[in-house]
Amino acid sequence: MNHNAYETLRVSRKDGVTFVTIDNPPVNLLGVTVMTELRDLLSGLAGDDTVRVIVFGSADPEFFLAHIDMTATPEALAPLMAGLPDGVNVFQAVGEQLRHQPQVTIVKLAGLAHGGGAEFVVAADMAFAAIGTAGLGQIEALMGIVPGGGATQYLSERIGRNRALEVVLGGELFDAETAERYGWVNRAVPADELDAYVERLALTIAALPDGVIAAAKQAMPPRDLTEGLTRENDAWAGLIFRPVTAQLMGAGLAAGAQTREGERDLEGLFRRL
């Protein structure tokens, strides 16, 4: 694989671990290029027996991975839509590919993850969040829609229906310690220890005897969420094209969404509209 060809991903390897650094300024939007490159990378790594663990981090300590690019057009999404697996939409496909990856996948969350970025975090096998700097939030309800990239299903499985409803409908930003208590992430880690902790864990897993990782993932497979993802897509599609949704998204962009200042308090920005 030619990792140098990626525009938004930096890729390096060490002792069976592939480190993927997301680098899409100014706020690491989950745009078409990022989704395309993530899916291409995961596809290429799936058949690489020398890679046992994949760690995802960010080049920007303030933003891990933001929401879907609100300016993306159907025409821009068309290439991704052409190669979709059965039963998932273009946004769900990213999370489902991550959930079914043969390697162990780990998110190192030092900054903020909103919307589709938060869905990416919960789709990974494990996630570790920095105390005081990490934040997770599903902000779609404030935009007049519901999550459409797997969050309704992933969160219900991970943290329970009651807390998933709180996350999806409350539109709040959750800090690392609360996310840990809820089970959204594995562990909240002091910010200055996050890099070392995740690398140590990843290298430990990668050094296990042959067959152990595959056996563990076979014994604990991801649950089949086909029906739930279909329900989610139907719910999302029923809201996304309403005039009120376009009005809220347009007003959000005008108020600074997708800029560094606006994304620092995206929940507050949409509540003020």
Full DSSP string of 12-49? EEETTEEEEEE--TTTT-B-HHHHHHHHHHHHHHHT-T
pLDDT (average), residues 238-251: 97
Residues ≥6 apart with Cβ < 8 Å to 245: 143, 144, 145, 239
pTM over 0.95: yes
% pLDDT > 90, the chain? 93
pLDDT (average), residues 252-262: 98
Which pLDDT belongs to residue 2? 60
pLDDT band per the 50, 70, 90 thresholds, residue 3: low
Which pLDDT belongs to residue 81? 86
Which pLDDT belongs to residue 1? 60
Mean pLDDT of the chain: 96
pLDDT band per the 50, 70, 90 thresholds, residue 82: confident
Residue 196 has pLDDT above 70, yes or no: yes
Which pLDDT belongs to residue 85? 85
How far is it, in rounded angstroms, from Cα 242 to Cα 251? 14
57's enclosing H/E stretch is: strand 53-58
Residue 130 has pLDDT above 70, yes or no: yes
Find out whether 98 and 105 touch, Cβ atoms under 8 Å: yes
pLDDT (average), residues 107-134: 98
Nearest residue to 266 via CA among 137, 121, 133, 120:
137
Nearest residue to 87 via CA among 217, 229, 262:
229
Residues ≥6 apart with Cβ < 8 Å to 131: 175, 176, 177, 188, 189, 190, 191
CATH superfamily of 3-210+221-271: 2-enoyl-CoA Hydratase; Chain A, domain 1 (3.90.226.10)
